[in-house]
Structure 1
Amino acid sequence: MIRTLATTSLLLLAACGGQATAPVSPDMPPVTRAFTDTDPVDFRGPGPDAYPVHGIDAARYQGRIDFRAARDAGVGFAYLKATEGGDRVDEAFAGNWAAAARAGVARGAYHFYYFCTPPEVQARWFIANVPKQTGSLPPVLDLEWNPFSPTCTHRPPAAEVRAQADRFLDILERHYGQRPVIYTTPDFWERNDIARLGEEVWLRSTAAHPSETYPGADWHFWQYTGTGRIRGVAGPVDINAFAGSRRDWQIWLARRAIR
């Protein structure tokens, strides 16, 4: 399914949670988006095409990315895997980080959390590997279960999950000057009551709109597919939508970019 859209004709959801609709601002120039999906979903209600700002998240599995080609295809931002646990760095991070900046793609870094390593150790590891650079997107804390890990399948109680996340977020906020965004999945969200943390969230929902999968959630990013195809990326890639207009995106960047 090819999505090639002029966004001036769309209605989209407002930036803070997607609970209301508003037209795209007429003074914002149109953006053409040329994405494909090897396993498209017919979303009921508002689908990804209701949002004009889309981006990717990527790691070493995507291989070398041509960010200029991806930008020209409509990619507006990129979140790049940086670290995992307290001792692993994604081997593609440094190259992706530099290449996205050269292409003029707004980029940020994310950390995959392990529940067998203290949050302080993981936060220090992320800080040691992700530069504090003006204009970067706020960091992301990726919270999900990892049943295939060879070293850590521990699932602590929900209160402990939230306590560890809060300590990690506090450390990164002090260093980068911005509170990280939390990425999570439906089962993790529900079991651990992540909404209680009160953070900006990025939600995975590949079969339905987040309003169905996460009722009442106030979300900022929606990961709507893991089987996307975009020029400049060799293999399948996650694609995400920002919950607002292009003007909302610029306002969010002005407020949340690292200084």
Structure 2
Amino acid sequence: MRHKRPAIIVGDVMLVLLLAWQLMPVSQREVDRDRLDMKIETYYEVTADGHPVFFFADINDTMEASGGSVCADTITTHNIDAPGFWVNKIPLVPSCMGHIVTFAPPKPKSIVKMDSAQLRHFVIMQMIRSDNRLAGLQRMRNELHYYVRKHDIADYGYGQIAKFSSVIDKQVDSLERIVDTLQNISPKARIGIRFVTRYAALKTADGHDTINRRCRIVEDYHGQFCLVRTLSGTTPLFVAPRMSITRGMEELLKLPAPDERRPTKTSHKGTVDKMVIDSVGTYVGQVAADTAQSVRKRGSGGLVPSGLGKMFYDDGSYYEGYWERGLRNGFGFYVSPSDYLQAGTWKNNVFKGERLTYNANRIYGIDLSRHQHEHDGKKYDIDWSRLRITSLGSAAKDNVRGKVDYPVSFIYIKSTEGCTVLNSYYYADYAMARSKGVRVGSYHFFSTTSSGYDQAMAFLRKSRFSDGDLTPVLDVEPTDAQVEKMGGSGVLLSNVARWLETVYKHTGQRPILYVGQTFAHKYLHDATAITGNYLVWVARYSEYMPTLKLAMWQLAPDGRVDGIHGNVDINVFSGYRQEYDDFLRSHTIRK
């Protein structure tokens, strides 16, 4: 007994000191020390006969779900960053044990009150919407895959587009699984839904990391605040709170509500990374103060896109690239669920085209007619032993990297025109190209004065089609007056289609259609029977490549080739070596 008395006295003294410490006013320094950052995650879980089948982050007024997933490991959540305070569960007693007071989660939408029949209708609508969105994403994926297939890392912007292509691939895969899962829910299954809330303690105000401690809700305080507790029921060693739950809620009232906390990150001088929402979509990227009222965006808060950024349009389209004064300017790419990919140079929101880099890795070819043999009343032979491309012409010169000294990989030779004209140099040039091992093909110049069928038969009678030759080409270059005299674009395109069909039937290979960029824009947009079945070769003498899907394009009429007198048409294949090899396997004559 004599030894226990001092111990009791020491214990009593410590208890008194502890009580005195607890009764002392909590300083602002202690309040700041006990503050921490919280993350609130919420999502909805749809069940069929009690089994989770579909998860989504939120739902709008038209009952359209966002952030859908069928995999519990990839649930998309609605995230809110909120402040919190470590507190004692019991006033005046050190009883934190992992307790945190913070803001309550948002209230669930009315969907949680729906019965099974109403929820079934909701599921059907999500399936229809997902299927429709899937069709658009599949088109975007095809556009992006086509670009990636035709380009490589040497092309400017390839990395950005390839990266976004992989994002779309994942979205397509996810939507395909969503559609398949929702379609396979049994008509007899009972549908249910629940609102799920998750809390996580991230770090304290002084930077101490709490290792993303998961928490569970202990008590709700009238929907404004709630008490949560770490799943382990422990408080980090560096935390020694003295605040009560009531004091913690009082301190929370002094802080901004969670949805008012919108930090921005400084990027570089004059711009900041920020989100701008306007009437057409959401922009994320660099912005600048708007000093021009004419380009001010509704809801932009006086800021407009300026620099590098991404635009998520409300119709599902996407643009990534450079902006000036709220307009697309410089390099960027735009892809849409209902249109072709546009990747290249933009000026004041107008797509100008893709400016390619020309180098030795690309595949180049030429086309020949009597003009390479006759010039200014004189005749010239071709020195077939010297054929090398030494100039890509004036339009491409600024985009050339390195010395132009390229082999001629393919040659197209004019054979016939209309029903009666034969190129007098055709047979000799054809034989020499074949003897030199160069891939060769024959082309016909279309006339508006005779039928497509008659011209096709004349071409087939007079041209050579040996094993390994390139598929034939139809060259269509009428003036507007000639089109009108023929009977209009419908008559012209009908005869063009007849020529293509006839040659295809007789050679076993689908011919290629050669047209100018202006003709393509004016007449080919609605000619899906042609563009959907035949490759296109476009002439565009510009710094930009043609804006159509194509097999190859003619980039200059004023190129130079050793061994040929005068200017030569220079063509570049749409793709690199692997694509060219694939083209040769599927678009050459087989005997």
Task: Compute the TM-score of the two structures, normalised by the length of structure 1.
Answer: 0.77
Q: Is the 8 A contact 2:151 2:576 kept in 1?
A: no
Task: Give the Cα separation in 2 of the matches to 1:120 and 1:46.
Answer: 38
Q: Which is greater in Rg?
A: 2
Amino acid at match of 1:54: Y
Task: Give the Cα separation in 2 of the matches to 1:137 and 1:220.
Answer: 12
Q: How does 1:167-182 map to 2 (within 5 A)?
A: 167-182=498-513
Residue 106 of structure 1 and its aligned partner are, at CA, apart by: 0.2
The unaligned stretches of length 5 or more in structure 1 are 1-13, 25-42
Q: Secondary structure at the match of 1:111?
A: strand
Aligned with 1:78 (options 394, 398, 411): 411
Please say if 1:202 is aligned against 2:533.
no
* 2:363 counterpart residue number: 53
Aligned with 1:154 (options 485, 501, 512): 485
Please say if 1:254 is aligned against 2:585.
yes
Task: Give the Cα separation in 2 of the matches to 1:157 and 1:166.
Answer: 14
Amino acid at match of 2:382: I
Please say if 1:21 is aligned against 2:354.
no
* 2:386 counterpart residue number: 69
Q: Is the 8 A contact 1:47 1:209 kept in 2?
A: no
Cα RMSD (Å):
2.7
Amino acid at match of 1:250: D
Q: Secondary structure at the match of 2:581?
A: helix
Q: Is the 8 A contact 1:71 1:103 kept in 2?
A: no
Amino acid at match of 1:210: M
Residue 218 of structure 1 and its aligned partner are, at CA, apart by: 0.7
Q: Is the 8 A contact 1:17 1:219 kept in 2?
A: no
Amino acid at match of 2:539: R
Q: Is the 8 A contact 2:541 2:557 kept in 1?
A: yes
Q: Secondary structure at the match of 2:359?
A: helix
Structure 1 residues 133 and 108 mapped into 2: Cα distance closer, same or farther (>3 Å)? same
Amino acid at match of 2:371: Y
Q: Secondary structure at the match of 2:469?
A: coil
Task: Give the Cα separation in 2 of the matches to 1:208 and 1:156.
Answer: 34
Task: Give the Cα separation in 2 of the matches to 1:119 and 1:52.
Answer: 34
| Larger RCO (CA within 8 A; separation ≥ 6) | 1
Residue 187 of structure 1 and its aligned partner are, at CA, apart by: 2.3
Residue 18 of structure 1 and its aligned partner are, at CA, apart by: 7.5
Task: Compute the TM-score of the two structures, normalised by the length of structure 2.
Answer: 0.35
Task: Give the Cα separation in 1 of the matches to 2:369 and 2:481.
Answer: 18
Task: Give the Cα separation in 2 of the matches to 1:177 and 1:71.
Answer: 32
Q: Which structure features the higher share of strand residues?
A: 2
Residue 156 of structure 1 and its aligned partner are, at CA, apart by: 3.5
Q: Is the 8 A contact 1:16 1:219 kept in 2?
A: no
C-alpha offsets along residues 93-136 of structure 1, whole Å, 9 cap, x if unaligned?
11110010011110001000011101111011100111221100
Task: Give the Cα separation in 2 of the matches to 1:61 and 1:21.
Answer: 33
Q: Is the 8 A contact 1:157 1:192 kept in 2?
A: no
Structure 1 residues 238 and 248 mapped into 2: Cα distance closer, same or farther (>3 Å)? same
C-alpha offsets along residues 153-195 of structure 1, whole Å, 9 cap, x if unaligned?
8353222222111110111001111010000012221221255
Q: Is the 8 A contact 2:387 2:564 kept in 1?
A: yes
* 1:222 counterpart residue number: 553
Q: Is the 8 A contact 2:452 2:498 kept in 1?
A: yes
Task: Give the Cα separation in 1 of the matches to 2:520 and 2:440.
Answer: 25
Structure 1 residues 200 and 44 mapped into 2: Cα distance closer, same or farther (>3 Å)? closer
Amino acid at match of 2:476: L
Please say if 1:187 is aligned against 2:518.
yes
The unaligned stretches of length 5 or more in structure 2 are 1-143, 155-352, 374-380, 390-405
Residue 21 of structure 1 and its aligned partner are, at CA, apart by: 3.0
Aligned with 2:570 (options 230, 239, 242): 239
Q: Secondary structure at the match of 1:122?
A: helix
Residue 257 of structure 1 and its aligned partner are, at CA, apart by: 0.6
- How many residues end up aligned between the 2 structures? 222
